[in-house]
């Protein structure tokens, strides 16, 4: 029986940690459930930004310069679209476009997003299992000072500038957890759950909004930990701190821990915030959580695995008969 770690993730920061885990874990030791609340229809195509970021990153195809999309990308499609007066606010590179076209074709032919994602990952040489949180449509909708917006309008077109007052996940109540995610949560081979340093509100909450998801995570027999997306009062990347302020939450690792209250047993804290560890009523591991290089990603991955191990050891010590 081969044990594996399950990661709940979305966005660039989460993909970086997943790459680190892929590099330090044994083959087949990692499964990844990805947020699809960011998915949307654009130019007649199904775009799955968080899935694509994860697959590109783990296959070595990510564009390190831009932080999103494919390496070595060309932009002929967008250049021509601009001359035609088409919508160019969401940039699709030529190579990236091929993936969206093929995904859309296969979805229209009745295939599930889970099947397509698994096939793409395998074709690009990945043994890590990557799957969407759901094969059903769940869409993040943002209530802002400029009115209600779909997520990509807020995030890309408006560059996260409007003030957020609320978030909802349209379709979540009717959606089903993807078969792969459900099987992973119930598997006897599951050895731990890691919530990536993704935006808790935009990337992780859509996953947790699925029916039964919180109950399944809360009822698991293995430890669940989170890695901080906040250092001091600032986000490592993206609008996490801004959103926390606008929702009336002090940007801090303590706020993230409180947000995941009841779900996590441990927290990977940045070493610069180590003084906060005493205020957290759970297991804490501190390290430098900035992930600029491959070595950085491995360091944070190893810290997460160490924390999972420490929690398991503590449980065995308290329950020697188990």
pLDDT band at 322; cut points 50, 70, 90: very low
- Residue 56 CA to residue 59 CA, distance in Å, equals 5
137-180 pLDDT per residue, tens: 999 999 999 999 999 999 999 999 999 999 999 999 999 999 99
CATH code: domain of residue 40:
3.40.50.10680
pLDDT band at 267; cut points 50, 70, 90: very high
The pLDDT score that the predictor gives to residue 320 is 40
Counting the structural domains of the chain, the total is: 1
User: What whole-number percentage of the chain has pLDDT above 70?
Assistant: 98
- Residue 32 CA to residue 202 CA, distance in Å, equals 17
Task: Give the count of alpha carbons within 13 A of 175, CB side only.
Answer: 24
Q: Which helix (H) or strand (E) holds 234?
A: strand 234-235
pLDDT at residue 321 tops 80: no
The pLDDT score that the predictor gives to residue 319 is 55
The pLDDT score that the predictor gives to residue 303 is 97
The pLDDT score that the predictor gives to residue 122 is 95
- Residue 206 CA to residue 169 CA, distance in Å, equals 6
- Residue 311 CA to residue 307 CA, distance in Å, equals 6
pTM for the full model? 0.94
The pLDDT score that the predictor gives to residue 237 is 73
pLDDT band at 209; cut points 50, 70, 90: very high
- Residue 139 CA to residue 190 CA, distance in Å, equals 28
Provide the residue count of the chain. Answer: 322
Mean per-residue pLDDT, 293-305: 97
The candidate with the shortest Cα–Cα distance to 100, out of 48, 58, 135, is 48
106-127 pLDDT per residue, tens: 999 999 999 999 999 999 999 9
Mean per-residue pLDDT, 278-306: 95
The pLDDT score that the predictor gives to residue 173 is 96
Mean per-residue pLDDT, 37-45: 96
pLDDT band at 27; cut points 50, 70, 90: confident
- Residue 125 CA to residue 46 CA, distance in Å, equals 23
Structural domain of 249: 4-318
- Residue 38 CA to residue 272 CA, distance in Å, equals 31
pLDDT band at 14; cut points 50, 70, 90: very high
Q: 255 and 230 in contact (C-beta within 8 Å)?
A: yes
DSSP-assigned states of every residue in 59-106: TT-B-TTTSSSBTT---HHHHHHHHTT---SS---HHHHHHHHHHHHH
Mean per-residue pLDDT, 214-242: 89
Mean per-residue pLDDT, 32-56: 97
- Residue 303 CA to residue 24 CA, distance in Å, equals 11
The whole-chain average pLDDT of the chain stands at 93
């Amino acid at each position: 029986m081969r044990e594996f770690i399950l990661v709940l993730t979305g966005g660039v920061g989460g993909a970086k940690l997943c790459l680190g885990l892929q590099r330090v874990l044994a083959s087949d030791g990692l499964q990844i459930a990805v947020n699809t609340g960011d998915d949307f229809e654009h130019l007649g195509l199904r775009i799955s930004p968080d899935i694509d970021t994860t697959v590109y990153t783990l296959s070595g195809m990510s564009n390190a310069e831009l932080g999103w999309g494919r390496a070595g990308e060309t932009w002929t499609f967008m250049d021509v679209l601009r001359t035609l007066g088409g919508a160019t606010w969401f940039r699709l590179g030529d190579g990236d476009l091929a993936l969206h076209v093929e995904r859309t074709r296969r979805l229209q032919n009745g295939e599930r997003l889970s099947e397509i994602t698994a096939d793409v990952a395998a074709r690009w040489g990945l043994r890590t299992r990557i799957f969407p949180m759901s094969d059903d449509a769940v869409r993040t909708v943002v209530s802002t000072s400029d009115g209600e917006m779909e997520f990509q309008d807020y995030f890309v077109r408006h560059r996260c500038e409007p003030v957020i007052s609320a978030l909802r996940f349209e379709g979540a109540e009717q959606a089903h957890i993807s078969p792969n995610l459900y099987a992973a949560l119930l598997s006897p081979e599951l050895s731990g759950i890691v919530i990536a340093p993704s935006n808790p509100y935009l990337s992780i909450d859509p996953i947790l909004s699925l029916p039964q998801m919180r109950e399944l995570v809360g009822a698991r027999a293995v430890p669940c930990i989170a890695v901080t997306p906040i250092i001091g009062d600032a986000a490592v990347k993206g609008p996490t701190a801004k959103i926390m302020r606008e929702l009336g939450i002090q940007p801090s690792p303590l706020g993230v821990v409180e947000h995941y209250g009841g779900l996590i047993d441990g927290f990977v804290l940045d070493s610069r915030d180590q003084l906060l560890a005493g205020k957290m009523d759970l297991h804490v591991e501190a390290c430098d959580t900035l992930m600029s290089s491959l070595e950085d990603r491995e360091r944070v991955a190893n810290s997460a695995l160490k924390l999972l191990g420490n929690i398991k050891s503590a449980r065995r010590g308290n329950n020697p008969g188990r």
